[in-house]
Chain A
Amino acid sequence: MTQETPLLDIRDLSVHFHVYGGVLKVLDRINFHVLPGERVGLVGETGCGKTTTMKTILRVLPSPPANIPGGEIFFQERDVLKMSQRELVHMRGQGISMIFQDPTAALNPVFSIGQQLTAVIRYASPENRNLNKNQLRERALQALRQVALADPERLLDSYPVQLSGGMRQRVCIGMALATQPGLLIADEPGTALDVTIQDQVLRLLQNLVEQRGNSFILITHTLGIVRQMTDRVYVMYAGNMVEVAPTRRLFTNPLHPYTQGLMDAVPRLTGGGISEGIPGRIPDYMDPPSGCRFSSRCPHAMPVCSREKPPVFRVEGPADESHEVACFLYDDAQKVSNYKAEAVPV
Chain B
Amino acid sequence: MSDDVILRIDNLRKHFIVGRKGIIKREPITVKAVDGVSFDLQRGETFGIVGESGSGKSTIAYITMGMYLPTSGTISFNGRDLFERGDRRPLDLRKEIQIVFQDPGSSLNPRRTIRQILDLPLSIDQPEKDRLTEIIRLLEMVDQPPEFMHKYPRQLSGGERQIVAIARALATNPSLMILDEPTSALDVSVQGKVINLLIRLQRELNLTYLFITHDLSVMRNLATRVAIMYLGRVAEVAEAEHFFESPQHPYTQMLLSSIPVLTEAEEALRPAQIRSTGEIPSPVDLPSGCSFHTRCPQVMDHCRHVDPLMVPIDVTDSDHIVRCHLFDQPNGQVQS
A residues with a Cβ closer than 8 A to B are 45-46, 164, 166-167, 194-200, 202-203, 221-225, 227-228, 251, 261-263, 265-279, 281
A275 with B279: in contact, given A45-B187, A269-B216 (CB under 8 Å)? no
**8 closest Cβ contacts across the A-B interface?**
A224-B260, A277-B192, A199-B258, A194-B52, A196-B276, A278-B189, A267-B217, A45-B187
Residue pairs across A and B with Cβ atoms less than 8 A apart, 9 shown, are A194-B214, A251-B262, A251-B263, A262-B189, A266-B217, A268-B261, A270-B263, A276-B192, A277-B188
Residue of B192, B221, B279 near A272 (CB, 8 A) is B221
Whether B258 contacts A195 by the Cβ 8 Å rule is yes
Which residues in B have their C-beta under 8 angstroms from that of A222? 260
Which residues in A have their C-beta under 8 angstroms from that of B257? 199
What is the interface size of chain B, counting residues whose CB is below 8 A from a CB of the partner? 44
Question: Is there a chain A Cβ closer than 8 Å to B220's Cβ?
Answer: yes
Residue of A225, A228, A274 near B196 (CB, 8 A) is A274
Per the bound structure, the CA–CA distance linking A224 and B275 in Å amounts to: 17
Question: Is there a chain A Cβ closer than 8 Å to B124's Cβ?
Answer: no
Residue of A46, A198, A227, A267 near B187 (CB, 8 A) is A46
Whether A273 contacts B189 by the Cβ 8 Å rule is no
A277 with B262: in contact, given A199-B276, A268-B217 (CB under 8 Å)? no
Per the bound structure, the CA–CA distance linking A164 and B280 in Å amounts to: 9
Whether B258 contacts A198 by the Cβ 8 Å rule is yes
Per the bound structure, the CA–CA distance linking A201 and B175 in Å amounts to: 41
Which residues in B have their C-beta under 8 angstroms from that of A228? 260
Which residues in B have their C-beta under 8 angstroms from that of A46? 158, 187
Which residues in B have their C-beta under 8 angstroms from that of A274? 191-192, 195-196, 218, 221-222
Which residues in A have their C-beta under 8 angstroms from that of B260? 202, 222-225, 227-228
- B302 smallest CB distance to A (angstroms): 24
Residue of B191, B256, B270 near A265 (CB, 8 A) is B191
Whether B254 contacts A196 by the Cβ 8 Å rule is yes
A166 with B261: in contact, given A45-B189, A269-B266, A272-B221 (CB under 8 Å)? no
Which residues in A have their C-beta under 8 angstroms from that of B280? 164, 194, 196-197
Which residues in B have their C-beta under 8 angstroms from that of A194? 52-53, 214, 280
- A16 smallest CB distance to B (angstroms): 23
In this complex, what residue of A is CB-closest to B257? A199
Whether B262 contacts A266 by the Cβ 8 Å rule is yes
Per the bound structure, the CA–CA distance linking A261 and B187 in Å amounts to: 12
- A10 smallest CB distance to B (angstroms): 24
Question: Is there a chain A Cβ closer than 8 Å to B123's Cβ?
Answer: no
With A227-B262, A268-B261 already in contact, 17 other A-B pairs whose C-beta atoms are closer than 8 Å: A196-B254, A196-B280, A197-B280, A199-B259, A199-B276, A203-B275, A227-B260, A266-B262, A267-B191, A267-B217, A268-B262, A268-B265, A269-B269, A270-B269, A272-B221, A274-B222, A277-B193
Whether A276 contacts B193 by the Cβ 8 Å rule is yes
Which residues in B have their C-beta under 8 angstroms from that of A261? 189
Residue of A166, A200, A277 near B191 (CB, 8 A) is A277
Which residues in B have their C-beta under 8 angstroms from that of A263? 262
In this complex, what residue of A is CB-closest to B277? A200
B residues with a Cβ closer than 8 A to A are 52-53, 157-159, 187-193, 195-196, 214-218, 220-222, 240-241, 244, 254-263, 265-266, 269-270, 275-277, 279-280
Whether B255 contacts A196 by the Cβ 8 Å rule is yes
In this complex, what residue of A is CB-closest to B193? A277
Per the bound structure, the CA–CA distance linking A167 and B280 in Å amounts to: 11
Which residues in A have their C-beta under 8 angstroms from that of B258? 195-196, 198-199
In this complex, what residue of A is CB-closest to B222? A274
Per the bound structure, the CA–CA distance linking A196 and B190 in Å amounts to: 25
A267 with B259: in contact, given A196-B276, A276-B196, A278-B189 (CB under 8 Å)? no
A45 with B188: in contact, given A270-B266, A274-B195, A276-B196 (CB under 8 Å)? yes
A221 with B192: in contact, given A266-B217, A268-B266, A269-B217 (CB under 8 Å)? no
Please indicate which of the listed interface residues B192, B255, B259 has the most CB atoms of chain A within 10 Å of its own CB.
B192
Per the bound structure, the CA–CA distance linking A228 and B196 in Å amounts to: 28
Which residues in A have their C-beta under 8 angstroms from that of B279? 164, 166-167, 197
Which residues in A have their C-beta under 8 angstroms from that of B191? 265, 267, 274, 277
Which residues in B have their C-beta under 8 angstroms from that of A267? 191-192, 195, 215, 217-218, 220-221
Residue of A200, A227, A262 near B188 (CB, 8 A) is A262
Per the bound structure, the CA–CA distance linking A228 and B263 in Å amounts to: 11
Which residues in A have their C-beta under 8 angstroms from that of B244? 269, 271
Whether A195 contacts B214 by the Cβ 8 Å rule is yes
Please indicate which of the listed interface residues A199, A222, A224, A267 has the most CB atoms of chain B within 10 Å of its own CB.
A267
Per the bound structure, the CA–CA distance linking A329 and B49 in Å amounts to: 43
Per the bound structure, the CA–CA distance linking A166 and B53 in Å amounts to: 12
In this complex, what residue of A is CB-closest to B251? A196
